[in-house]
A = this chain, B = another copy of it.
Amino acid sequence: MNAEIITIGDEILLGQIVDTNSAWIAQYLGQADIAIRFITSISDRREDISKALSEASSRSDIVIVTGGLGPTKDDVTKNTISEFFKSPLVRNQHVLDHVKQIFLRLGRGEMPISNYGQADVLECAQILFNDVGTAPGMWVERSSKCFAFLPGVPFEMKFLMENRVMPKLASMRSHVHVYHSHILTAGLGESFLAEEIADIEASLPHYIKLAYLPKIGLVRLRLSATGTDVNVLQTETDKFADRISERLSKFVVARQDISLEEAIIKNFAEGHLKIALAESCTGGTIASNLTKYTGASKVFDCGIVAYANHIKQGVLGVRKNTLDEFGAVSEQTVIEMAKGVQRLSGAEYGVATSGIAGPTGGTPEKPVGTVWIAVVGKNEMVTKKFQFNNNREVNIERSTMQALILLWNLYVKELV
């Protein structure tokens, strides 16, 4: 099945917001083996909406439309789709009661009449009841095509996709099953991984596909199998995943669809190990990336953002001599930072970064993009120097990921 996404509204066209909804929908449907072939962003002009809908219905089986359903935008989008499907708008009492209740619960008092339109839905549509917001979603089937109209607010859209749209799609293709098996790897580039497992990939049956999903220092492998017998799919896919994992063993971080941060949190929590961070050039970004995930508190107690030398000395105990002799961006300094925060926090692992994120502050000897990272573990220690480029944002992002990869590698080494 082919799907496409249409987003309606000016915010994306004005660049006020980045279209994260489409990426989420694409990933989510991709996991169910439904491929997105087009994403179109349009404003809520009548002619643009009609044209986008008719083009989409001419080429895709499923059309997911987000946005354009808010209380102030109601008119144009809803009236246009009402015309498009030649189906009048009717007020739905169940939705109306729900919207009124939300108003009351939020303490906004009696709902103004202008908001009643929120409860108007296409007569021909099935309502995708929106438990978490005021704008109802709608589902329309027409000439063997399906249209889902969803609000643009991300968590409302996700709620409706997961709880209303996916069950419908699943029932439409109840005979088709999709099974995924994931392998998260670190430390080997996409093309090298592909070479390593070329023979296994070549031997995959036609119903199992392998995707390489790379991201700074990491590559996620996803085996997707599509078929009718879910048990066969699972057995066969896992068999190949096992073979790949075995082949790539020293690069495998996780056999699940999780991030490196989540893998670290999970493994360290199971091993009752703690991480402490001493960040200079990454400026809190490693801590922020870890604490994004639930459960971070099990493995992370303490992060020091030691942006100034007097904090490296005063809080982390880096020696003045070290800073004077080797500078803040040096192997010696990051070692003392990592050991310092390890001591301060009592954590088993200490991670430290120091570098010149840029765009200013470089010298001929230490140009912008020079970054030192140290990780100290229970018995061992690893340090590494990186030479990134002169984009501050990119340098911080890469330093963060590389620090987490070094931490993971030392953890694995000490496990053995």
A245 within 8 A of B: no
Report whether B38 and A40 are in contact in the complex, using a CB–CB cutoff of 8 Å.
Answer: yes
Report whether B40 and A39 are in contact in the complex, using a CB–CB cutoff of 8 Å.
Answer: yes
Find chain B residues with CB under 8 A from A288 CB.
282-285, 287-288
The segment from A164-172, A248-256, A305-313 found at the interface with B is A305-313
Report whether A39 and B13 are in contact in the complex, using a CB–CB cutoff of 8 Å.
Answer: yes
Find chain B residues with CB under 8 A from A314 CB.
344
A113 within 8 A of B: no
Report whether A30 and B14 are in contact in the complex, using a CB–CB cutoff of 8 Å.
Answer: yes
Report whether A307 and B296 are in contact in the complex, using a CB–CB cutoff of 8 Å.
Answer: yes
A15 within 8 A of B: yes
A161 within 8 A of B: no
Closest to A359 in B: B294
Could you tell me the distance between the alpha carbons of A291 and B305 in the complex, rounded to whole angstroms?
10
A298 CB, min distance to chain B CBs, angstroms: 10
Find chain B residues with CB under 8 A from A40 CB.
38-41
The segment from A17-25, A117-125, A402-410 found at the interface with B is A17-25
Instruction: Tell me which of B20, B42, B291 contacts A284 (CB under 8 A).
Output: B291
Closest to A5 in B: B41
Could you tell me the distance between the alpha carbons of A344 and B304 in the complex, rounded to whole angstroms?
12
A116 within 8 A of B: no
Report whether A301 and B311 are in contact in the complex, using a CB–CB cutoff of 8 Å.
Answer: yes
- Given contacts A37-B42, A283-B290, A311-B345, A22 and B19 within 8 Å (CB-CB): yes
Find chain B residues with CB under 8 A from A310 CB.
301, 346
A65 within 8 A of B: no
Tell me the residues in window 112-164 of chain A with beta carbons closer than 8 Å to chain B beta carbons: 155
Closest to A52 in B: B38
A16 within 8 A of B: yes
Could you tell me the distance between the alpha carbons of A163 and B412 in the complex, rounded to whole angstroms?
46
Report whether B23 and A17 are in contact in the complex, using a CB–CB cutoff of 8 Å.
Answer: yes
A302 within 8 A of B: yes
Report whether B284 and A305 are in contact in the complex, using a CB–CB cutoff of 8 Å.
Answer: yes
Could you tell me the distance between the alpha carbons of A296 and B283 in the complex, rounded to whole angstroms?
9
Find chain B residues with CB under 8 A from A28 CB.
15
- Given contacts A12-B26, A287-B283, A307 and B315 within 8 Å (CB-CB): no
Q: Which of A282, A291, A315 has the most CB of B within 10 A?
A: A291
Find chain B residues with CB under 8 A from A346 CB.
310
A220 CB, min distance to chain B CBs, angstroms: 9
Tell me the residues in window 1-56 of chain A with beta carbons closer than 8 Å to chain B beta carbons: 12-20, 22-28, 30, 35-43, 48
The segment from A229-237, A374-382, A389-397 found at the interface with B is A389-397
9 interchain residue pairs of minimum CB distance: A283-B291, A284-B287, A15-B26, A15-B27, A303-B305, A301-B308, A284-B284, A39-B41, A284-B288
Can you name 9 extra interface pairs (CB under 8 A) apart from A39-B40, A311-B345? A12-B39, A13-B36, A19-B23, A279-B287, A292-B393, A301-B311, A302-B306, A303-B304, A305-B305
Residues of A within 8 A of B (CB): 12-20, 22-28, 30, 35-43, 48, 155, 211, 213, 277, 279, 282-288, 290-292, 294, 296-297, 300-308, 310-311, 314-315, 344-346, 357-360, 391-394, 396
10 A-B pairs, CB-CB below 8 angstroms? Answer: A12-B22, A18-B19, A38-B41, A283-B292, A284-B286, A294-B359, A294-B360, A302-B307, A302-B308, A310-B346
